[in-house]
Amino acid sequence: MKNAWELMRDGDRLWVKICQAKYYPKIGFWKATNTSGASSLWREVVKVRHHLMDDIRWEVNNGRKTYALSQPWFPNWSVHQEFNQRDTVKKVADLLDPQTGMWNMEDLQRLFGREKAEIIQNDVKIPTPECEMDDRLIWQKSKTGRYSVNEGYKELDLMTVQRAAGNIGVQWRVISKWNFIVPKVKIFLWRLLSRALPLANNIHRRIRAISPICQRCGQENEYESHCFFFCPGSRRVWFEGKLALRSHDQPLDITQAFTQTILVLDEEGIKVYSYTLWELWKGRNEVIMQHKQFDPVRIKKAVSNWMKEGYLENQRNQNEQQCQRIPGYEVKGHDWNLIVDASWQQSRKTGIAFMFYEHGAVTQWSSNFCEAYDPFHAEAMSLLDGLKMVVQKLQEDQEKIVNVFSDCQNLIVAVTEMNTDNIPSWRALKTVQELIKLYKSWTHNIQLRHVRRDAVQPAHLLANDVRRTMQAKHGNTFDCAYLLEMGIDLELDSNYFEIT
């Protein structure tokens, strides 16, 4: 797969040029096949090429490097696209109308058909031939956009888990690596997927005198999927919880349900999912052993407590010294201060917000709704929105110094060091570059600082609200009723600005 990645990039390395001249001089890498006398290296590359096909895209900037017919550069690009041999050298930049600078629809329809031509027109950014930034190959499974053997191995590992949903050994390999889950809960998940929990249906198979009926609802046999998903009390917990999961959509097989769910969740989602299963099990045992009433509200609160405390609660003694606070930034009342934050969810719905303080009191605030590819991209957009407002202020008074606070350390380091090599998301590259350009022009007036999350809580509440309502809100000193309704303090609390 690493060799396939190098071949796709059409690099200047000698072995890449040899393969290109020998196996696909005219038709392109994606359409090349095995030929008689092909080397073992080439045969293996063709065999694994499909693993990369769905996740490879050319990011078109000036359109001068991407071949329109032999390289994937738009959604639903097909490797089986038929084309004439004389069109194989056509670049994406050649598909523009030279007079208008827009897509030439006649060429697009002739080469790709009407349906795909409309996809290109609606979903692909029009390249700028005079742009200095070349097109580049992107592997969308990577945060950096570059393929690496390490990340490729992880991706194949997840594909193996998906194919072998019933293999508990494969499942345990994944679960055991979750350092963000308490060990006793990981053991519980292993027992659940092994069907080793003492559920009524499992006990009935060994002791016929024990009824297999669920003691909570008295309607069905108590097997794994019923206990954790289909029982009315469990269904309510999932539907009203943070994941808003509809239990009736889950597969009957518990391992399939578990695998399909964790593959689409991020780290925080997996924590919510795992701790919800754990608390459902504890709630079920309280009904049977202590004759208590099943309480979905208590279970949801317990899951929230896990999310707040997590590992620190279970390793309090070991981590006590690491959690001590040290003196942080001093927030001076006469300075201008800006706090920014973002709220993001997997559907890309994003809320960004900032609050601007003068002499310790809020004088301007704003929250906007947008779409971001990932949490880092969302944080970069919120910082950019806030800095643009600050620059307008500084143009009026260039003697002022502004403290800008964000809880995203990677973003602050990238902007202050003016280096984008180590940012965790390639999708946020252009936003970060714009931030660096803005910061570079006002370095003497803007001080970017990383703080803990509590310090940006007011901006976080605004961002959360706009993400849910999808309605942007703005205000100034005389329009703070909305902030008061949200329970946001109008004064800057310097006690928050410490580092843990």
280 with 361, same domain? Answer: no
In a domain, 170, yes or no: yes
Q: Model confidence over 209-236: pLDDT tens digits?
A: 888 899 898 888 898 989 999 898 998 9
pLDDT (tens digit, 9 = 90+) per residue, 351-405?
A: 999 999 988 888 899 999 999 988 999 999 999 999 999 999 888 888 888 999 9
Same domain, 140 and 244: no
How far is CA 237 from each of CA 35, 229, 275, rounded to the nearest angstrom?
A: 58, 9, 12
Inside any domain, residue 44? yes
Q: Is there a contact between 373 and 138 (Cβ–Cβ < 8 Å)? A: no
Give me the amino acid identity at 4: A
CA distance 461 to 64: 45
Q: Check whether residue 374 and residue 472 sit in a common domain.
A: yes
Strand (E) or helix (H) holding 437? helix 429-441
Residues 4-53 have pLDDT tens digits of: 888 887 677 898 889 888 888 877 787 788 877 888 889 899 888 877 77
Q: Sorting pLDDT into bands at 50, 70 and 90, what band is 309?
A: low
Is residue 215 in a domain? yes
- List C-alpha distances in Å: 104 to 68, 92, 231: 13, 11, 57
Q: How many CB atoms lie within 10 A of CB 106?
A: 11
345 contacts: CB under 8 Å, gap ≥ 6: 467
CATH code assigned at 420: 3.30.420.10
The answer, yes or no, to whether residue 164 has pLDDT greater than 70, is: no
Task: For residue 341, tell me if it sits in a domain.
Answer: yes
Please say whether the beta carbons of 403 and 447 come within 8 A.
Answer: yes
Q: Are residues 172 and 101 in the same domain?
A: no
| 193: its two tokens | 């997927």
Long-range contacts at 429-432 (CB < 8 A, ≥ 24 apart): 429/145, 431/377, 431/380, 431/381, 431/384, 432/380
Average pLDDT, the chain: 82
As a whole number of angstroms, the distance between CA 267 and CA 404 comes to 28
In a domain, residue 401? The reply is yes
Domain count, the chain: 3
Which of these three, 93, 116, 147, is where a domain ends?
147
Is residue 158 included in any domain, yes or no? Answer: no
Nearest of 240, 251, 84, 30 to residue 162 by alpha carbon:
251
Structure tokens at 154: 């992880």
Say yes or no: 346 and 471 in one domain. yes
Q: Is residue 159 part of a domain?
A: no
Domain shared by 275 and 349, yes or no: no
- State which of 120, 147, 174 marks the end of a domain: 147
Q: Using CA atoms, how far apart are residues 329 and 212, in angstroms rounded to an integer? A: 61
Residues 259-288 have pLDDT tens digits of 888 888 888 889 999 999 999 999 999 999
* 102 in the same domain as 16: yes
The model's pLDDT over 122-157, given as tens digits with 9 standing for 90+, comes to: 878 888 877 878 888 888 777 778 888 888 887 776
Q: Do residues 342 and 489 both lie within one domain?
A: yes
Q: State the pLDDT confidence band at 162, using cuts at 50, 70 and 90.
A: low
* Residue that is last in its domain, among 262, 284, 318: 318
Q: Token digits for 269?
A: 């989602």
Taking residues 313-318, report their average pLDDT: 42
> How many whole angstroms separate alpha carbon 292 and alpha carbon 500?
41
For residues 433 and 382, state if they share a domain.
Answer: yes
From 51-55, 155-159, 244-248, 327-331, the region with the lowest mean pLDDT: 327-331
Q: Check whether residue 346 and residue 489 sit in a common domain.
A: yes
Q: Are residues 184 and 312 in the same domain?
A: yes
Q: Predicted confidence band at 87 (pLDDT cuts at 50, 70, 90)? A: low
Domain that holds residue 43: 2-147
Same domain, 343 and 306: no
Contacts of residue 138, Cβ cutoff 8 Å, sequence gap at least 6: 56, 57, 58, 59, 145, 426
